[in-house]
Structure 1
């Protein structure tokens, strides 16, 4: 796929301000570093609140392409959608701040898309539109919906998909695939938004649009978010989950040892992480030998089947894989040579 001029407007900072206002006041350093990383990993535009602006603008303004502050000028409720008119102040490194009008339309039901047509009369008075929601769009002919959106608002419409069904990333990626050029994201999908890192991964590993973001910074961004929110993403969350490159079962482990591409869509180093061999009830002798090698444990080959059986039993009893220290304890009982271990 050849794709040009994709633009990502990231709402992470403004979402943190809205959901964690009580936690960010003393997090100036984290906010400053996070804003720089969000830009470096691939976000083109960062939307911020007045609070974030007050905290961090002197430090972050020189590191990001754009900062956008929104002030709500008007909010109107209709039967099928909510219309929010924003007064945007846009900053860039090369320009003085300029004020623009931006319209955000919240609509949850994709079947009501025709009701948006009348809003296009505002096109001459605003700088851009964002359509937020459309959570159920994949249940219908979503390409027909995308076609109407482009007809109504043009390719530069920013789509901010909701994530009620866990499909926000798919909605955003299909939008870019179909012809849209702009999506709005939130790191980790905080607050129910489209996860920034998943869209960036799609650009890196699926699209051919000369993406220049540095995805090896993702672990740093995740740690900063954890520091600010005091919340950790689930271990199996795509792209940023701590366990997504863990492997255990005999067949899986054997495939990874022979050719990682058998199970991995991309090298974990490309997103700043590593694969981890874990040992548990599904592990085989080959995996156990690899783990013992990693832990620098030397054991007689004849003892390995019994050790593996002990590991499997312990893992089944605890209903989880075993930690390295737990494996060390079992091997110690078997008389394993552990050169760096203090007895």
Structure 2
């Protein structure tokens, strides 16, 4: 254990299912909440704040499902200082309540229309009542960073006397600095103390780490930093900062971090920023020739940690910054063995594609290599025609006629939209040659206006082999067809063919 944290065992209360779900536009079903809670427990989170029992019937159903699931993690629910909230927490089977009381004069007067004495009495009564009902109590000061610290200290001290098991300092609108944290936290460690930060000014992570160093023993976090406005402290970043920079063993199963992150992103429909630390798509992706060359010799040259540590893989993409080493590495993975002269020409052509502002996909590299090395690539599949029907009163349906290994195949499929229906019929038509799965789909507009060119990039997988491909047309469906067909043809080529 790092000496910086004394004898404290740092714990994690994850509030993805409560504060994280308050992200505008996010609404999870009870079943989705249960799935996320299961993964939170498996990764090693100590407490799961599974929602707010007072909020809705759906919230109560989710809390009951999660409470009855037998997870190792403690199950908590958000609660106001009101008996009805506490009664519902008990009824839903929660282990604990995150009992939140406004403590700044701004919140006390403007939000509640009360005074300090009234809020103090509400807090003491609620703590006592929750303990009588058999709940673990974490007494939380809302807007603590703007509160009178003498009042906050008295409320915390007497709350512990009334039976509160834990305390929590909430920086509700992200106004703390690490310097203020180091001054404000130590006098409040009257019981195990949590820190709950919001990221309005980008300091949630720094403030959380500062609080843990100053005596707090629990970090409130959300997966991917989800939450209202600019979000909360990101779980994955706190874990890896503690592990990597402070040499502190969190006890978290770090290899589950990326899969949990992507699960939450998929279920909440909140995409990850490409440059997000740890879990963003670019976190372990490299293009620069100098960087890629160094990585191929020693990964630590341009990576602070191994991507495998958090359940990821390194990715080297090609573009105008790519050097010979990275292009050769990509060619080797794709099964090509060019001589030095051929390699130099392939590198030059890759850079030309990148100079045009285009993504350089695996299919692009293979097409360039085939041309330079005078290899003949006979298509395994070709498209004769396709038709898509979609509209306000019609289920999106696509039909296609293809030639697959010389055999004519006609089929039809439906989907959630015209692109989805088209990709479904293409996959269905080549099923005889193996199961090809679409793993990623990305579209960019190349030019503006109603006749904009769209650039579609796809990632396809077959039998553990992954390939990226692209298509560019003014019609998004046609661009998608071009990208998927190019990728399928490359995946279905004979893996034993000679590309030397």
- Shorter-chain TM-score: what band? 0.7 to 0.9
1:212-227 → structure 2 map (5 Å cutoff): 212-227=251-266
2:185 and 2:214 in contact (8 A); partners too: no
Q: 1:7 — aligned with what?
A: 11
1:316-327 → structure 2 map (5 Å cutoff): 316-318=355-357, 320-327=358-365
1:325-336 → structure 2 map (5 Å cutoff): 325-335=363-373
SS at match of 1:291: helix
1:250 and 1:286 in contact (8 A); partners too: yes
2:317 and 2:360 in contact (8 A); partners too: yes
323 and 176 in structure 1: CA distance in 2 versus 1, 3 angstrom threshold = same
1:331-342 → structure 2 map (5 Å cutoff): 331-335=369-373, 337=375, 342=493
Q: Which runs of 5+ in 1 are unaligned?
A: 89-96
Which residue of 54, 57, 70 maps to 2:61? 54
RMSD: 3.1
1:238-277 → structure 2 map (5 Å cutoff): 238-277=277-316
Which residue of 70, 73, 76 maps to 1:68? 76
1:133-144 → structure 2 map (5 Å cutoff): 133=171, 135-138=174-177, 141-142=179-180
More moved, 153-162 vs 117-126: 117-126
Q: 1:35 — aligned with what?
A: 37
1:280 and 1:311 in contact (8 A); partners too: yes
Give the C-alpha shift of residue 109 in structure 1: 5.0
2:13 and 2:49 in contact (8 A); partners too: yes
SS at match of 2:192: coil
1:175-194 → structure 2 map (5 Å cutoff): 175-191=211-227, 192-194=231-233
Q: 1:91 — aligned with what?
A: none
Q: Which runs of 5+ in 2 are unaligned?
A: 83-100, 109-118, 128-132, 378-489, 495-500
1:155 and 1:180 in contact (8 A); partners too: no
Which residue of 105, 120, 125 maps to 1:79? 105
Which residue of 148, 152, 156 maps to 1:116? 152
1:150 and 1:157 in contact (8 A); partners too: no
1:84-95 → structure 2 map (5 Å cutoff): none
Q: Give the TM-score of the pair, scaled to structure 1.
A: 0.84
Q: 1:93 — aligned with what?
A: none
Give the C-alpha shift of residue 234 in structure 1: 0.9
SS at match of 2:78: strand
| In 2, Cα distance between equivalents of 1:111 and 1:20 | 27
| In 2, Cα distance between equivalents of 1:336 and 1:98 | 77
Give the C-alpha shift of residue 303 in structure 1: 2.4
| In 1, Cα distance between equivalents of 2:222 and 2:339 | 52
More moved, 179-188 vs 222-231: 222-231
2:16 and 2:222 in contact (8 A); partners too: yes
Larger radius of gyration: 2
